[in-house]
Amino acid sequence: MVESQPPTGANPSLAEELAAIPYEPLLPVEKWLIATSLVLGVVLLGVLSWVNTTFFPIAPK
């Protein structure tokens, strides 16, 4: 079974499609959501680390 490929001019490549998209800066609410998510992730990692060391200490051999 032979698949036919469209001519190169008919379908632009992914790079050409991405280059054609206009730049859109982040909205303030999007920046706030990103920053809040990062801070929450770091805080929860700290809580997880504290729980781990408090309730599951490393037993000496």
Q: What is the pLDDT of residues 20-55, one digit of tens each?
A: 999 999 999 999 999 999 999 999 999 999 999 999
Q: Is the pLDDT of residue 10 over 90?
A: no
pLDDT number for residue 7 = 53
Q: How many Cα atoms sit within 13 Å of 56 on the Cβ side?
A: 5
Give the largest Cα separation in the chain, rounded: 70
Q: Where are the alpha helices (DSSP H) in the chain?
A: 14-20, 28-55
Residue 26, CA atoms < 13 Å, CB-side half-sphere:
8
Q: How high is the pLDDT of residue 41?
A: 98
Can you tell me the distance from the alpha carbon of 37 to that of 52, in angstroms, rounded to the nearest whole number? 22
